[in-house]
Amino acid sequence: MGHSRAYPVFRTTDAAEAYARAERLVALLERVDDTVFVEAEVRTVAEARRVAALLPDPAADPAPPVDAERAVREVDVARAEDAEIRAALPLYVSGDVPLGALGRDLPRALGAVTASVDWHGRWPDDRDTGRPGSNQYDGVQLVLHGEEAEGSEWTPHHTVLVHLDKREDVSRARRLAARVGGEVLGDVRIGW
């Protein structure tokens, strides 16, 4: 058990540009999982309904802070009444979307919520170091309106992160970022 190392490699206030840069990194993966994980923190009923409509089988979990009453309440945001959703807010609405079903309109469809789009896969073996890719830790993450791989505070900008095996160092992240016109921005973060 462990976590990946997440390196921020691109940041912009243009969500479409951030999504396009993430797609370019995903194209560099040797293997990409069949599904993409999407998670958004929603604070209104309208946001909950909008995000749930984008996901084939949405799940809703309480977002921090979680009190005892909200921790045990399960909400089916696709079917619940407005009052039931309102009582459970804030929520993380999440789900797996088939690879290829997402489009460049996803950031616009999500709106101004803090959200994460995670493409898990495997980077090709690194010819420079001889290190293999990792099926468990490798991938690309787009954080809309945030900076962190997990639990990001709302910001006006969007961040693309490269995830690597914890045995990798910043040099591989730099090489991957450079291939899409990015660079490592700041310190490594704990990833997925």
Q: Tell me the C-alpha distance between 23 and 140, whole Å.
A: 9
Decide if 161 contacts 69 (C-beta within 8 A): no
Residue with tokens 């979307």: 97
Chain centroid to CA 132: how far?
Answer: 24
Average pLDDT over residues 40-50: 96
Q: Tell me the C-alpha distance between 144 and 165, whole Å.
A: 23
Of 1-10, 31-40, 130-139, 158-167, the one with minimum mean pLDDT is: 1-10
Task: Find the distance separating the first CA and the last CA of the chain, reported in whole Å.
Answer: 11
Q: Tell me the C-alpha distance between 38 and 52, whole Å.
A: 10
Q: Tell me the C-alpha distance between 161 and 169, whole Å.
A: 14
pLDDT of amino acid 73: 63
Q: Tell me the C-alpha distance between 126 and 109, whole Å.
A: 36
pLDDT of amino acid 75: 86
